[in-house]
Amino acid sequence: MACAGPAEGNHGYYEIRKAGTKGFGAFALKHIPSGTRVLVDTALFRVEKEESQISDADILRQIQALEPQVRAKFDALPYSQTTLYTTAVRRFNLNNFQVRGRRGLSCFAHASRLNHSCLPNCSMTSIQTGKKQCRTIRDVQPDEELTFAYTELLQYMTIAERRDDLRSQFSSGRCECNLCQLPGKQQEISEMRRGLMRHLHFIVYGQDLSPMPQTIPSEYRGPQFMSKSNAAELFVRLAEAEGVEGAIVIGMYCRGCAEELDFRTKKRATVMPPAVLVKVVGWMQKVQAMKAKLMGPEYARKEDDEHFDKLVAVVNRLKAAHGRMDAMWA
């Protein structure tokens, strides 16, 4: 199948072709550097209701109202063979996304053609215009398949949890990505790291990753840390070792920095230790670089982004004042 073409935001970066048991997938036509936007996609249509309230009738009503050219694009999309819904509903269910800032679910003809990986090389995010964009998060080689994680939480699950969560998504019944195919010892190490990251998230935030089931009891007694920023630091180091990026990692960098500032303030420190200053400055630089790579300049902002901007401003003032704590409130 030919590449989508510039009109769909694919400027010769990839083509759609057979991908083994996954059906079809998007494969790189050339070397693609990390941080490259390879696709911008406009929704074919949107079902504008709360997701939990969307019925088959709502979906069919939107499909029946499509213009012939749009309906032809929708009818060409793949659909799951493993469910009992009507073909049109199955097609919608397999090719929809949530779009930040937009209510309901939107159906996409091109973004939906990329397959899942628990260790992806791309991110799929929303931009301000309500479209979806796909950006590479590491260098991609020619003929390598472009993939993204269907949900970020999958990167914090064990292989058994991932398989259970993804079972309905694959005709083969299991994910065959590189992470899920790691050999014994490597898989054991990866499972240990990701499980520890989930525990550390609980220590920092006091709750398990939502909407994952609460598996860690409230009386959990894990490693003791002088400050939650130390737990956050271990989390991001493990994430880096595992190649995990995304909003959860970005949030942990920010939470770790905020906890460090709060810890020093409560101790009534007048100057932040040089090593700690270097650490928090480095964290904010990493977050800025990660956000630029994963989301670019046009991403749909939310309240967390405003908090991040304020945190960056505080850290920059501390840096300019060589760690003098009163600079936080300048």
Nearest to 155 by CA among 131, 175, 185, 126: 175
Stretch among 42-56, 82-96, 197-211 having the lowest mean pLDDT: 82-96
Indicate whether 157 pLDDT > 80. Answer: yes
Indicate whether 216 pLDDT > 90. Answer: no
How far apart, in whole angstroms, are the C-alpha atoms of residue 43 and residue 109? 7
pLDDT band at 161 (very low <50, low <70, confident <90, very high): confident
What the block records as the tokens of 213 is 């089931």
Instruction: Find the domain containing 132 and state its range.
Output: 6-169
pLDDT band at 7 (very low <50, low <70, confident <90, very high): very low
pLDDT, the chain, mean: 87
Indicate whether 85 pLDDT > 90. Answer: no
CB-based contacts of 93, cutoff 8 Å, min separation 6: 79, 80, 83, 85
By three-state DSSP, how is residue 7 classified? helix
Residue that wins the pLDDT comparison between 5 and 260: 260
pLDDT in tens, 101-133: 888 999 999 999 899 999 999 999 988 888 899
**Alpha-carbon Rg of the chain, whole angstroms?**
22
Average pLDDT of the segment spanning 260-283: 95
Whether 215 is covered by a domain: the verdict is no
Residue that wins the pLDDT comparison between 187 and 100: 187
CB 115 within 8 A of CB 94: no
The pLDDT value given to residue 173: 60
Going by their DSSP bridges, the two strands 14-18 and 24-28 should be labelled as antiparallel
Residues 165 and 261 in one domain: no
Q: Count up the domains in the chain and report the number.
A: 2
Indicate whether 220 pLDDT > 60. Answer: no
Stretch among 21-30, 207-216, 259-268, 317-326 having the lowest mean pLDDT: 207-216
We report the CATH number of the domain holding residue 13 as 2.170.270.10
Determine the length of the chain: 330
The helix or strand, by DSSP H or E, that contains position 146, with its residue range, turns out to be strand 145-148
Indicate the residue among 169, 187, 210 that finishes a domain.
169
Indicate the residue among 135, 153, 169 that finishes a domain.
169
Q: What's the predicted TM-score (pTM) here?
A: 0.85
Average pLDDT of the segment spanning 176-184: 90
pLDDT-above-70 percentage for the chain: 90
Indicate the residue among 129, 146, 169 that finishes a domain.
169
Whether 28 is covered by a domain: the verdict is yes
Average pLDDT of the segment spanning 72-80: 88
pLDDT band at 227 (very low <50, low <70, confident <90, very high): confident
Residues 165 and 50 in one domain: yes
Whether 86 is covered by a domain: the verdict is yes
Residue that wins the pLDDT comparison between 4 and 147: 147
The pLDDT value given to residue 10: 65
Indicate whether 150 pLDDT > 60. Answer: yes
The pLDDT value given to residue 6: 44
Whether 175 is covered by a domain: the verdict is no
Residue that wins the pLDDT comparison between 45 and 7: 45
Residues 164 and 232 in one domain: no
Amino acid at 50: E
Task: Count CA within 13 A, CB hemisphere, residue 50.
Answer: 2
